[in-house]
Amino acid sequence: MMLFSDSAAAPVAAEAQPQRPRSRSHSPSHSHKHAEGEEEEGEIFFEIPEFDVLASALRDESAPISKRMRSVFLLKQLGDEPSIKVLAEGLRSSSVLLAHECGYVLGQLQNPLALPMLESGLADRSLSPIVRHECAEAIGAIGREQSLALLEKYVDDEAIEVAETAQIAIERIKWNAQTSFKVFPSKYASVDPAPRTEDGLERSVEELQTLMMDTTKNLFERYRAMFALRDKGTEEAVLALATGFNDKSAVFRHEVAYVMGQIQHPAAIQSLKKMLSNGSEHAMVRHEAAEALGSIASEDLTPYLQTYQKNDKDTIVRESCDVALDLVDYWNNDEVCTAVDPNQ
């Protein structure tokens, strides 16, 4: 057997042989002190439930969305062909949130086996543009040149979310081809829609912010500056990222919220709350803001998120608040196995 990290698809060598794969938690609350008062991240491992249990949870349209979403990410840890096929089924869930998350995870796995399923989702105009957008982004994450011709068909799609994402995915695949899939070292394990700006860590926050907001550049180049700011991760960088919420592109704004959720810096809270509270904002931005607030994991946010969980007009926002509250519980829960078990 292998041990699996909940922050990366790649397996790591096992010292023991558990009955089922296990994943390790990187919760900030699961750490311990060492010399000079610094904190060192603890590694707490938990077993991944059997495939059939996870598949059943994902398919159960009557189950709580937080339980189904946990199953999506645990299937990612398995990452085998049966898991990919079940995740592809999820693209057509009645929950747009779950469907788009399945698309995201299929891209993160970077397995070409998923390409025909993602291409089918992208082509299906009966699906929400949010789901189709995620399929396009996932195709870009897998990064095969064979996908370029298909993506070109969608650069002028009637759904602007899909058109813009197809454009970014094309540039991503071209960049991969030119650089042989170059990867910049980062503490974030995600496969991003754009690599950070080449010298991003050497540039000032002000320079990167200017590039990120330069609308004469294509979205791919602007995304690169955005991810460079993410990798800086300072309060100054977070505040610079927040200016991206003024951009006209909902796809761009939603990506800003996503990277804020990765950074988990409290300086992002006010701008994320502003996005979530704006009922006229695109649902894909509001949902991403809700989940980012959950990732920041301040228990003080629980009553705020509960308000939108119960009363918001958009189903994807209500469900995202449910997931966000589950995240808050997870990051603040010392009982890690309980927090991730789809049977709970």
* Confidence band for 330, pLDDT divided at 50, 70 and 90: confident
Model pLDDT for residues 105-154, shown as the tens digit of each residue: 999 999 999 999 999 999 999 999 999 999 999 999 999 999 999 999 99
> Higher confidence at residue 4 or residue 71?
71
State the amino acid at position 154 in one-letter form: Y
Give yes or no for residue 246 having a pLDDT over 90. Answer: yes
Averaged pLDDT for residues 287-300: 95
Q: Are strands 39-41 and 3-5 parallel, antiparallel or unpaired?
A: unpaired
Q: Sign of the C-alpha dihedral, residues 123, 125, 128, 129?
A: positive
What architecture is domain 61-182? Alpha Horseshoe (1.25)
Answer yes or no: are the C-beta atoms of 243 and 253 closer than 8 Å.
Answer: no
Return phi, psi of residue 40, to 5°: -115, 135
Superfamily (CATH H level) for 186-344: Leucine-rich Repeat Variant (1.25.10.10)
- CA 157 from chain centre, in angstroms, equals 23
Give yes or no for residue 16 having a pLDDT over 90. Answer: no
State the amino acid at position 202 in one-letter form: E
Return phi, psi of residue 18, to 5°: -70, 165
Answer yes or no: are the C-beta atoms of 71 and 342 closer than 8 Å.
Answer: yes
CATH 1.25.10.10 domain span(s) along the chain = 61-182, 186-344
Distance CA 325, CA 319 (A): 10
